Copies of this chain bind each other. A is one copy, B any other.
Amino acid sequence: MGNVAEAQRAVSYMSYADFAGMTAAEARSHFREGKYIGHTAGIAPGMLQGNVVILPAEYALDFARYCQRNPQPCPLIGVSDTGDAMMRTLGDDIDIRTDVPAYRIYENGELVDEVADIRHMWRDDFVAFAIGCSFTFEDALIADGIRLRHIDEDRTVGMFITNIETEKAGPFSGGTVVSMRPLTVENAIRASAICARFPHAHGQPVHMGDPAAIGIKDINAPDWGDKTDFRDGEIPVFWACGVTPQNAVRSAKPSICITHAPGRMLVTDVPAWATDSKKPNSSN
């Protein structure tokens, strides 16, 4: 069990380009075999992707409450039965122990490891939560002709802890984590309208303009992900981010917590734009 960088050197048999044209189920089968531990942006386009948080059942009710109370950063799209590793409402054969490219392990709130597989760690009292992801609205923005620099430059979007406090639930609390994309004012307005259609994927932005207004000291020093350059006329636009629970886990200090590794999301069999009642959109 090595860290992801090491594993990537050792066992990454597939490159990102190999996933072009694959269905979500096909892509997951390769993740399951340990053949790819990279990011999932653009894989199985049009399908809902999710952040992952796995906790012992003793924390699960409080965490469910945390998500309900903070739907913009934490829109719940799926919750497993206790001890059941299959995400049955998100696809026919999704094993949360193997089907995410890479995982982060937290013990008592501290990040202790990154791994490609958690079969050896699974417990009968684990509950897996899937939370909507920005990849969904990014697809919609791109489809509408709005270019996103971090994608054009093949970087991970920059993420920042803010002073926008989340609504506490049990031990879970802390500042909202946001992702930031530079846009022209015109595109920021268009993006706000487009993203409002995706409440299960963080919805409209939480802020635009002055980073200091939401407690961000240096827009060039993200807490996660990469720095993004600005061009003339662009402003920073901030969206609530599914990494928020990872920040809450730092303060809650559960004995054990497993999440996806940033950018390595759960790719589901559910259409990202679905709005009917049978889809795992907590808003419909």
Residues of A within 8 A of B (CB): 57, 60-61, 64-65, 68-73, 75-76, 78-79, 81-82, 89, 127, 167, 169-170, 196, 199-200, 203-204, 206, 240, 275, 277, 280-284
Contact = CB atoms under 8 A, between A and B. Distances in A.
Nearest to A78: B68
A283 B70 CA distance: 10
B240 A277 contact: yes
Contacts of A169: 81
Nearest to A199: B283
Given A57-B61, A196-B275, A71 B206 contact: no
- The oligomer's copy count stands at 2
B64 A89 contact: no
Contacts of A61: 57, 60-61, 64, 82, 127
A21 to B, nearest CB: 31
A270 to B, nearest CB: 12
B64 A283 contact: no
A281 B280 CA distance: 15
A283 B200 contact: yes
A170 B83 CA distance: 12
A79 B76 CA distance: 14
B60 A199 contact: no
B72 A199 contact: no
Given A61-B61, A64-B64, A68-B78, A283 B203 contact: yes
A69 B280 contact: yes
A71 B89 CA distance: 12
Contacts of A280: 68-69, 71
Contact of A68 (B76, B204, B275): B76
A56 to B, nearest CB: 12
A262 B274 CA distance: 31
B64 A68 contact: yes
A143 B264 CA distance: 45
